[in-house]
Amino acid sequence: MSTAYLTHQDCHRHEMGGGHPECPQRLDAIEDWLIAHGMDVALDRHDAPKVDLACLGRAHSARYVAEMQALLEGLEREAAGGTPVAPRALDPDTFANGHTWAAALRAAGAAVRATDLVLDGQAENAFCAVRPPGHHATREQAMGFCFFNNVAVAARHALDVRGLDRVAVVDFDVHHGNGTEDILANDDRVLMVSIFQDPLYPYSGGEPLGPNMLNVPVPPYTRGPEVREMIEALWMPALERFKPQMVFISAGFDAHREDDLAQLGLVEADYEWITLRIMDVARRHAKGRIVSCLEGGYHLSALGRSVGVHLRALAGL
């Protein structure tokens, strides 16, 4: 089984300030785990390209893309000119520096390139080890550490450019993927299923925005066995009925019991189980085609371990 692994050094240069949980060391933690467990040579590695702006326009408004380009390219020019650039706040949680434009383009570009690799049969599935994450970015707004919605951009590429009829988006981040829902709600070519702690930022998801959204709020302190029961009872029948031709995963690992940004109790074995259940659906209906994109996960050791078991499952190792 061939698993493509897409990343780029530009994603490491994006910084949101000292002490921010969405930090470059997140990618280091993943790489360290892969090296320590001999998986760094087991994956088909690719440099993430910069996304074409036309791809962004399939998920975001032209006005928003232009505003982000003007702001982030301005910071990039300041940094290139040798001017010290303090991270610029877009909201209380989301900051940009002189490398954010390149990182955001690489993150979305990884998701699109991964989609093409899988659809062209060059990989059975793919994982994008990228930052900034994407699932809080709405059609018109950056928020929650996110600038462009990587998974939504890739899903629309699969539908609008590559001609698929049905794709599923599976989001197991501890925070509701409000941006993905904002972009994809009422698109009957997409089924989005998600779990998320409730109440928790961004305090949404209780009322789905469209009939193609299956939101599963989870109370704080819920542990893995209960989450597995919810997934089995709610996600799996919906995915089976929908029969997706490709599956996209917003792979957030911040529901881990060691992660301080939330209060759920998942462990590595739960992430492995979730991955295998998603793979079961993909094998039956989508020729095994999966593109997974990193979202949250802020306890570095737990993140490395959790991504590791996710990748092991995807690669069949």
Domains in the chain, number: 1
Residue 181's CB is within 10 A of a number of other CB atoms, namely 24
| Residues paired with residue 146 on neighbouring β-strands, in sequence order | 143
Helix H, strand E, coil C: the string for the chain is CCEEEEECCHHHHCCCCCCCCCCCHHHHHHHHHHHHCCCCCCCEEEECCCCCHHHHCCCCCHHHHHHHHHHHHHHHHHHHCCCCCCCEECCCCCEECCCHHHHHHHHHHHHHHHHHHHHCCCCCEEEECCCCCCCCCCCCCCECCECCCHHHHHHHHHHHHCCCCCEEEEECCCCCCHHHHHHHCCCCCEEEEEEEECCCCCCCCCCCCCCCEEEEEECCCCEHHHHHHHHHHHHHHHHHHHCCCCEEEEECCCCECCCCCCCCEECHHHHHHHHHHHHHHHHHHCCCCEEEEECCCCCHHHHHHHHHHHHHHHHCC
Give residue 119's pLDDT. Answer: 98
Give residue 60's pLDDT. Answer: 98
Read off the tokens for 203. 């305090």
Give residue 13's pLDDT. Answer: 96
- Evaluate the omega torsion of the peptide bond into residue 199 and state whether it is cis, within 30 degrees of 0: yes
The single residue of 46, 136, 157, 256 carrying the catalytic annotation is 136
Give residue 86's pLDDT. Answer: 83
Parent domain of 150: 3-315
Give residue 40's pLDDT. Answer: 84
Q: Which parts of the chain register pLDDT below 50?
A: none
**Alpha carbon of residue 239 to chain centroid:** 19
Give the domain CATH number at 71. Answer: 3.40.800.20
Distance CA 279, CA 247 (A): 9
Distance CA 72, CA 202 (A): 24
The answer to whether 136 is a known catalytic residue is yes
Cβ–Cβ < 8 Å for 54, 153 = no
Give residue 1's pLDDT. Answer: 62
Q: Could you tell me the CA-to-CA distances from 221 to 99, 174, 201, 233, 255 in Å, in that order? A: 37, 12, 16, 20, 10
Report the candidate in 61, 52, 29, 30 with the shortest Cα–Cα distance to residue 108.
Answer: 52
